[in-house]
Amino acid sequence: MTGVLRLTSWNIHGAVGADGRCDPGRILDAIRRLQPDILALQEIDGRTHFGRQERAFERFSAGLGCHVVEARTVPRPGRDYGHLLWSRWPIESSRVRPLPGGLVEKRFAIDAVLAVPGGPLRVLSTHFGLFGRDRRRQAEALRDWTAETDLPVLVLGDLNEWRLGGPVDAALSSALPTRLSPKSWPAGRPVARMDRIYASAGIELEAEAEDESLRRLSDHRALSAIVRLPIPS
């Protein structure tokens, strides 16, 4: 095997912790402790009318540094909402792709090719919708997109499906047979497997031990994994 990296997906709930305080700085401090090589964050939220801090995307992009792709799903000047993908390594290509459904809120996936050690890696990060029919169609779209290249693929994010065996899991598992999906919501005593990582054949995923100090920083637990990529042919 070659190309061992650390991956984290985390719905940060607008940087609002269990104490009700919005504090992007302590989220960034936690990310530095986690030391991911690839990071997907959901609910980047600058909507001040909901008690968040403005310019949230700018705060996180500046605090993270390196290479970032943003999906501003609810664009408002200085008060955007959405999700992002961050990489320690250069991003060879990227696009933000609209997902099906989303009458209440448009949903998107970030589709990026990263120049990681061992060769290019395709990563699709997302935050699925609240309605089951939309989630099924969104998962089927991601499944179909994974067939567009022969690159090793990771899909990760908050998929908003509580349990395994549902239509989201069925669609993604049919193309990406390796999966990590611990219970992650609510953070204090999780019952739902909303946050997941799926990987194409040949990629190994190993769950990392949870940093318990993060539990009160969001309503979701952070999902972190060691990823081992296959030897390129």
Over residues 124-172, the pLDDT tens digits come to 999 999 999 999 999 999 999 999 999 999 999 999 999 999 999 999 9
| Cα radius of gyration (the chain) | 16
Start-to-end CA distance of the chain, whole Å, equals: 12
pTM for the predicted model, two decimal places: 0.97
The mean pLDDT of 118-123, rounded to a whole number, is 94
List the structure tokens of 57. 């995307």
Q: How far apart are CA 96 and CA 112, in angstroms?
A: 9
pLDDT at position 55, please? 97
- The CATH code of the domain at 4-213 is 3.60.10.10
Is the pLDDT at 39 greater than 90? The verdict is yes
Residue 18 reports pLDDT greater than 90 = yes
Q: Across residues 34-60, what is the average pLDDT?
A: 97
Residues 173-204 pLDDT 10s: 999 999 999 999 999 999 999 999 999 999 99
pLDDT of 233 reads: 62
Mean pLDDT of 93-114: 94
Q: Are 146 and 200 in contact (CB under 8 A)?
A: yes
**Domains of the chain by residue range:** 4-213
Q: Is 187:221 a contact under the CB 8 Å cutoff?
A: yes
